Amino acid sequence: MFEIGSSLREARERRELELADIERATRIRTKFLQALEDDRFDRLPAPAYAKAFLRTYADYLDLEAQRFVDEYETRFAPTEEPQAAPLVRIERPGHLRRRLLLALPVALLVGLVAWGFSRGAGHHQPGAAAGASSTASHARVRTVTHPRATRSANPTARIALAATRGPCWLTVRLRSQTGRLVFERTLEPGQQVRFSGRRLWIRLGAPWNLDATLNGKHVPLPTAIGNVIVTPQGLLSA
């Protein structure tokens, strides 16, 4: 029978590597690596972490990562896993670029049409202009000054997370850890998700594998597994 833990340990020892070496390379803590080698998956934070850590560890040792994940799902994974919340779009970076390239010609055409109308509106007939001026001279003119636009009292945080270096488990809730569940699944390499709200609570399984932008600006993520609160002003440790 194929054994997950002993196979990982034997591959590591053949390479004469210590668990500390693997931790530095993969950013997976030694205690979690030891749990994988001992088949003690109950010591990991959640089932999704087991799959993500197995895949990362096996890939690093040049093993067939999918075989380890499949074996875990067959023998150790819970019978039910949380389903991803609907209406969350996952985009690969290439898809976003193609959409922008398609939108540029449309925007250019709209701009040209608007410019043509503005030129046509500037060439009025002299008679019509004189009539308008005469009418305006008898009309009472009331000037209305619009107050300067104020900032929204309820700004929104828009955060984008992209898995650029490896998989990462994400749990996203509104406002706090007990808020409504928005998203819960493993973000695979090359995938990207976007979330928005006045306040978001996010659990990051492998933040070192992610790049993040908040309202269009790059923001640093924690260097270890943990929770963050996302607000329009920035990220807070939770």
* CA angle 228–229–231, rounded 5-degree value: 140
Task: Write down which residue in 51, 75, 99 finishes a domain.
Answer: 75
The CA–CA distances, whole Å, from 31 to 22, 27, 81, 206 equal 11, 12, 24, 15
Structure confidence at residue 205 (pLDDT): 87
Assigned domain for 206 exists: yes
* Beta carbons within 8 Å of 232's beta carbon, 6+ residues apart: 155, 156, 157, 198, 215
Can you list the positions of beta strands (E) in the chain? 90-91, 157-163, 168-174, 181-187, 192-197, 200-204, 210-214, 217-219, 226-231, 234-237
Phi, psi of 162 (to 5 degrees): -125, 130
Residue 58: half-sphere exposure toward Cβ, Cα within 13 Å: 23
Tell me how far the alpha carbon of residue 122 is from its chain's centroid. Answer: 47
Assigned domain for 168 exists: yes
Q: Are 235 and 207 in contact (CB under 8 A)?
A: no
Assigned domain for 116 exists: no
* CA angle 30–35–40, rounded 5-degree value: 170
Q: Domains in the chain: how many in total?
A: 2
Beta bridge partners of 219: 212
Assigned domain for 87 exists: no
Task: Write down which residue in 75, 110, 128 finishes a domain.
Answer: 75
Task: Write down which residue in 20, 49, 75 finishes a domain.
Answer: 75
For residue 68, the domain's CATH number is: 1.10.260.40
Give, for all 238 residues of the chain, the pLDDT tens digit: 789 999 999 999 999 999 999 999 998 999 999 999 999 998 988 888 889 999 999 999 999 999 999 999 888 877 654 444 444 444 445 555 666 666 666 667 767 666 665 565 554 444 444 444 444 444 454 444 444 544 555 689 999 999 999 888 889 999 998 999 989 888 888 999 999 999 999 999 889 899 999 999 999 999 888 899 999 999 998 8
Assigned domain for 194 exists: yes
Single-letter residue type at 225: I
Assigned domain for 24 exists: yes
Beta bridge partners of 210: 163
Q: Please give the Cα distance from 191 to 161 (Å, whole number).
A: 9
Q: Are 167 and 187 in contact (CB under 8 A)?
A: yes
State which residues form the domain around 209.
157-237
Structure confidence at residue 82 (pLDDT): 47
Alpha helices in 27-92 (DSSP H): 30-37, 47-60, 65-75
Q: Please give the Cα distance from 177 to 202 (Å, whole number).
A: 8
Q: Please give the Cα distance from 12 to 120 (Å, whole number).
A: 75
